[in-house]
Every structure is written in structure tokens, then in C-alpha cells.
Structure 1
Amino acid sequence: MNPQIENNFSYHEPTPGQPEIYQAIRKKAKELAYLIDDLAPGSREKSLALTNLEQAVMWANAAVARHDK
């Protein structure tokens, strides 16, 4: 059994305080998304920037869910 695989592919029920952390991460990312949307011209690069920002939020939330501080 591989502990990392077990951890990465398991459901992690939010602990007290985690939903607020998720909201804070999403709020800041949304601010940046709007900044990118407002300032960057429509392009593949802009789309990639927004996609990668979404990925960053997902990975940040996964870090919070999977690991204790």
C-alpha cells in the first residue's frame, strides 16, 4: 500500500476552518481572474492564464485538504 496514493485518491471531509480557507483562496483568485480578463487581450495566452489560475486554486485547495498545517 502506498500512503501517498491512498491520501491523494481519498475523500477528505473538510475540517473546521477549511471551508473558510477555500473561500479565501477562491476570492483572491477571482480578483486576479478579473484583472487578467480586464487587462489582457483576448488570446490563447489569456485563456491559458485563466485555466492555469483555475488549476492553481484546485491544487491549493488540495494542499489544504490533504495536509495538516
Structure 2
Amino acid sequence: MSNPQIENNFSYHAPKPGQPEIYEEIRNKARELAELIDEKCPKSRESSLAMTNLEQSVMWANAAVARN
């Protein structure tokens, strides 16, 4: 018997009406924060991790929109 969560998580989710605009809004807000981090934080391992985790946040936020 198939697990519905696995089916959902590993399937293509074509954008529904309105979703591309949500993805763009999420990316734009994240870009604002990325620019602030780049401007205000010293170049360091920590700022690199902040950027990496911000990218992950965008990915997971977009996945939440796509999957649900």
C-alpha cells in the first residue's frame, strides 16, 4: 500500500492559479533579507550559513505552497 505523504512529496506539482505570484513574493522578500545580510554582516562562515539557510527557507516555503 502506497504512503500518500511519500506520493505527494515525490511528485511533480504543476503550479495552480495564483501560485507563481506567491513564489515570486516569497523570493522577493528573501532577496531583501539576503541583501541586508550581505550588506551588514561580515563575510564569514556564519553569514554563509545564514544565506544557505535562507535559500533553504525559500525552497521549503515554496514546497509548502506547491504540496498543500
TM-score range, shorter chain: over 0.9
Deviation at 1:9, TM superposition (A): 0.2
The one-letter code of the counterpart of 1:26 is R
Deviation at 1:23, TM superposition (A): 0.1
Tell me which residue corresponds to 2:56.
55
Tell me which residue corresponds to 2:29.
28
Q: Which runs of 5+ in 1 are unaligned?
A: none
Tell me which residue corresponds to 2:18.
17
Deviation at 1:17, TM superposition (A): 0.1
Share of identical aligned residues, percent? 76
Equivalent residue of 1:25, what SS?
helix
Alpha-carbon deviations, 1:36-65, whole Å to 9, x = none?
000000000000000000000000000000
Tell me which residue corresponds to 1:3.
4
Cα distance in 2 for partners of 1:2, 1:42 equals 44
Equivalent residue of 2:15, what SS?
coil
Where does structure 1 differ by over 3 angstroms across 4 or more consecutive aligned residues? Answer: none
Q: Normalising to structure 1: TM-score of the pair? A: 0.97
